[in-house]
Amino acid sequence: MIDLRNHAALVTGSTQGVGRAIAVSLATAGADVVVHGHEAGPTAEETLALCREHGVRAELIVGDLAGPTEACVDAVFEAVLDVMPEIDLLANNAGGLFDVPYLEMDVDRFERTMRLNVATPFFLVQRFARRWVEHDVRGRVVVTGSINGRLSEPDHAAYDTSKGAVEAMVRTLCVSLAPHGIRVNGMAPGLVRTPLTNTVLDHDADFLRWMELHTPNGRVPPADVCGPTAAFLLSDLAEHVHGQTWLVDGGMSAWQQPDKPGKQ
């Protein structure tokens, strides 16, 4: 039912993990896709191949979005226009976690987190929105947040702060851009399997069981579960959905405290 034919999307941070899941879901729905990553390589090529299997056009751009914000955003924006100027869908997924315990946090690490997770999507949306308004394009945006925007962890102070800001940003960009016919929403995963999280999940059975216990549906699924939600939010089916952040978390955010193991 999700039909994105005749649309073109940029998905930042899409060579693997949640970003790849979004890119493939958009391609499955018929959108042409620009895949973005920090560098070219086998994972980027694999994402392109997975998208092209659906008969759509898929192109790759590379660029670091964690550096000085204006220069990084402008470089990525110009690279996108060079390969696919008709972009009308934007999935801001690029992000990172660089935390150390709060009492050890330094300004450089905190600012890098906020640049990549908050400033970059804020200004990348602005670049596209200006173009869309100028050309009378009813653009659509989804920003990847996190369950950590609502539920905090003691050693993720900078990351949690950034993802809380993302959820607020989704709301404020909504009220700024909806009058121009541009829709802005967010998608916030819980714990899912990505190359990063697998380094822990595959080697710490106790941690995996602990996370399953804290998730009502008892699953720590692959990142693929995130893609269809982003595709829906970018589609005509979500025409009247504005300024919302949808959690894809198996119910984790709804459960105050799980039962003790073995309780019937």
Instruction: Concatenate the DSSP letters of all residues of 189-201 into one string.
Output: E-S-B-HHHHHHH
Q: What is the pLDDT of residue 142?
A: 98
Per-residue tokens: 145: 């947040």
What CATH number should be reported for the domain holding residue 130? Answer: 3.40.50.720
Name the domain count of the chain.
1
Are residues 157 and 106 in contact, defined by beta-carbon separation less than 8 angstroms?
no
Amino acid identity, position 15: T
Banded model confidence at residue 262, pLDDT cuts 50, 70, 90: low
For the segment 19-59, what is each residue's pLDDT rounded down to a tens digit? 999 999 999 999 999 999 999 999 999 999 999 999 999 99
Tokens found for residue 102: 């709060």
Is 87 a domain residue? Answer: yes
The model's pTM:
0.94
Q: How far apart are CA 22 and CA 165, in angstroms?
A: 21
Q: What does the alpha-carbon distance between residue 141 and residue 52 come to, in Å, rounded to a whole number?
A: 22
Query: Is 262 a domain residue?
Result: no
* Percent above pLDDT 90 for the chain: 88
CA of residue 216 relative to chain centroid, distance: 23
- What token pair was written down for 181? 């016919």
255 within some domain: no
Nearest CA among 89, 96, 63, 66 for reference residue 77: 63
- pLDDT tens for each residue of 129-188: 999 999 999 999 999 999 999 999 889 999 999 999 999 999 999 999 999 999 999 999
Residues catalogued as catalytic: 146, 159, 163
Which residue is it, tokens 């993720």? 156
* Other CB atoms within 10 A of residue 219 CB: 15
In a domain, 263, yes or no: no
Mean pLDDT of the chain: 95
What is the dihedral angle through the alpha carbons of 66, 69, 71, 77, rounded to the nearest 10 degrees? 90
**Measured distance between the N- and C-terminal CA atoms of the chain, rounded to whole angstroms:** 40
Closest CA to 23 of 42, 41, 46: 46
Rg (CA), the chain: 18
Residue 104 burial (CB < 10 Å; 0-12/13-18/19+)?
Answer: exposed
Q: Is residue 152 part of a domain?
A: yes
Provide the domain limits for residue 78: 8-247
Phi then psi for residue 96, to 5 deg, are -160, 160
Where residue 195 falls among pLDDT bands split at 50, 70, 90?
confident
Domain-embedded: residue 258? no
Examine residue 176 and state whether it is found in any structural domain, yes or no: yes
Per-residue pLDDT tens over the stretch 198-226: 888 898 998 899 889 889 999 999 999 99
Q: Per the domain annotation, does 177 fall within a domain?
A: yes
